Structure 1
């Protein structure tokens, strides 16, 4: 089964989606399953993982409703305030939805201390006990704090989104690799090959810009802990779906068929507990 392990849906609202600034006008509109499904079909992708883009319970409910309507949405990564004293009650309201497979917060916009709070770590333990995964959305300069955070929860299934957003635009990678390597030593952490084009020069990138970063990710995590994700529709500010998919597919052409299948779907299915 081929899977796009990372994409988003939204009904565009300028206030709710204020992070979509005027430099991103191309995505200042609605993006819903009927817009994505032809792209998945064109690239022989069987389904997708819908990941939160807004920090609200409404967002989680919205994605679950879409997943109930569209069988191609195989999993949902929703949002919850993990540090809340009411977390158990909040988790209970969605506990009957089998396609809800994980949670995420926009850690990249928060100070590094945020993820190290005891209340937040307590929340991670609670979702872990319920069988949920956790997506880590950070910038490369948050990797050191992320390692400390990961050490506190060795039983939890984690995945690093977007390769931890290295500075591809400037071609900076050495410090990123050094810190990501320490995280990759932990076998309960996976990584998504996603979100690369938006970390490059949006108007002037080449395929070669990404090769070294994908090679490093493969070196550190191996083919069993990497997942392809398009980051559609956010990727559209810098490249079309087919361009983003082509980057990873061409890269995996150098691997064995088994390893290629792992990165293009099997790993995501295993990580999120997705059945055929």
Structure 2
């Protein structure tokens, strides 16, 4: 089974997405749902997907669980909850028994949008993470280079928990990369409880001037750091459409992974997502 471990659904006509207001994001400022994704999965040989939160709203998590409940191809939901809420445990328990709750596999917050680079280390946030991990959920790090030290400290504070680094921490590909990014994700990878998604890389490059060859050094570095068992494929659809079609994005990452060998490629396209999120693969 081949899994797209990072995709989104949204409808700007029904909800507010503050990050989507930038003029350059106009091409994706429309509704994208399961019916839009289904033919793309089929055309690209993808068997299943994991839908990931887009906004800080419990209502979205509840909606994604309802979608997952009636959409067999959606095998996991990485939702949003308020990690600072003292009653988080009760909220999680309610979500887990709701229709589709068995597909809640993880939680994410848009940490890189917080003004505080150490937001993850706040006492109330750490308390929320404790409640989440007590229910065997994974946590997705949505961070850039700036927030990686806090992510490292958090992974070290919860050695028995499972973490997934989204988009390889968004390396500055358009600027040619940075030593700071390279060193910090290597330090995060040294925490053996963190997986890395090589998703969203094309949109960190110049949208109209990129190819697999330009992405490869970043994929290769992530692979060198995390190893064959902790590298995960994700499309980041529909955000990826800013840089290329679903097929172009999948093809570029497939080419990068193929250069790293068949074992790395095979595990990144399914096995590792199953381990990180503990999803059923049929």
Whether the TM-score (by the shorter chain) exceeds 0.5 is yes
1:98 corresponds to: 102
CA contact (8 A) 1:64 1:100 kept: yes
CA distance in 2, matches of 1:244, 1:223: 21
Cα RMSD of the aligned pairs, angstroms, is 1.3
1:10 corresponds to: 10
CA contact (8 A) 1:121 1:153 kept: no
CA contact (8 A) 1:133 1:158 kept: yes
Summarize deviations over 1:55-74 as a string: whole Å, max 9, x none: 11110011011101110001
Q: Normalization by structure 1: what TM-score?
A: 0.96
Single out whichever of 174-183 and 140-149 deviates more from structure 2. Answer: 140-149
Query: Which structure shows the higher helix fraction?
Result: 2
How far off its partner does 1:15 sit? 6.2
SS of 2:92 mapped into structure 1:
helix
1:32 corresponds to: 33
How far off its partner does 1:177 sit? 1.0
2:134 corresponds to: 129
SS of 2:207 mapped into structure 1:
coil
CA distance in 2, matches of 1:135, 1:146: 10
Unaligned residue ranges in structure 2 (runs of 5+): none
SS of 1:135 mapped into structure 2:
strand
SS of 1:19 mapped into structure 2:
helix
Unaligned residue ranges in structure 1 (runs of 5+): none
CA contact (8 A) 2:107 2:140 kept: yes
CA distance in 2, matches of 1:151, 1:187: 9
Q: Normalization by structure 2: what TM-score?
A: 0.94
Q: 1:177-216 to 2 correspondence within 5 Å?
A: 177-216=182-221
How far off its partner does 1:88 sit? 1.2
Structure 2 residue 26 is matched with structure 1 residue 53: no
Paired residue total = 276
SS of 2:232 mapped into structure 1:
strand
**Moved runs in structure 1, 4+ residues, more than 6 A?**
none
